[in-house]
């Protein structure tokens, strides 16, 4: 992956809906050339997918929390987690707990209800998100940030 590929990724991570023509102009390539590079990065798995970021608050999900979970029955727990609409993320982790979940619910009351449903699978600690000063950072830095490194 060369400098131009990194520039392409920088623009795509900021605006995945950018047209290939506009992307080409931004990185100094023709539309066919930039399209070919994007296609190649998709085929290699560098670009895994394109997503829409939805505001949880705008769809009534006011409460976010992380749950550190310890279970002895990983299969049953994962079956439960996969079918739970409150679970936004699930990560297998090392240490005292098996899993880290990101849970998004309508309120602390519905978060508590979700916790009650989890009781039969093991023990957990709930960490309620108060605010998110850094909610998301991009993997590919801007050209100015890359030069500073």
Is residue 148 pLDDT above 80, yes or no? no
pLDDT of residue 52: 87
Cβ atoms of 129 and 65 closer than 8 Å: yes
Q: Which CATH fold would you assign to the domain 3-51?
A: Arc Repressor Mutant, subunit A (1.10.10)
pLDDT digits (tens, 9 = 90+) for 47-75: 999 988 889 999 999 999 999 999 999 99
**Intrachain domains 3-51 and 57-128 with the same fold:** no
| CA atoms of 73 and 28, how far apart (whole Å) | 54
Domain 57-128 belongs to what architecture?
A: 2-Layer Sandwich (3.30)
3 state DSSP class of 88: strand
* Domain locations along the chain: 3-51, 57-128
The band of 144, judged by pLDDT with boundaries at 50, 70 and 90, is: low
pTM score, two decimals? 0.80
């Amino acid at each position: 992956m060369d400098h131009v590929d990194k520039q392409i990724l920088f623009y795509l991570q900021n605006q995945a809906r950018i047209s290939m023509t506009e992307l080409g102009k931004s990185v100094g390539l023709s539309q066919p050339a930039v399209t070919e590079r994007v296609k190649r990065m998709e085929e290699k798995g560098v670009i895994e997918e394109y997503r829409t970021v939805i505001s949880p608050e705008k769809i009534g999900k006011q409460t976010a929390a992380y749950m550190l979970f310890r279970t002895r029955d990983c299969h049953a727990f994962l079956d439960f987690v996969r079918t739970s609409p409150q679970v936004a993320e699930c990560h297998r982790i090392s240490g005292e707990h098996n899993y880290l979940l990101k849970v998004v619910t309508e309120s602390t009351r519905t978060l508590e209800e979700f916790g009650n449903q989890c009781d039969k699978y093991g023990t957990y600690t709930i960490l309620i998100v108060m605010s998110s000063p850094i909610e998301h950072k991009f993997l590919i830095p801007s050209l100015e940030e890359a030069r500073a490194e």
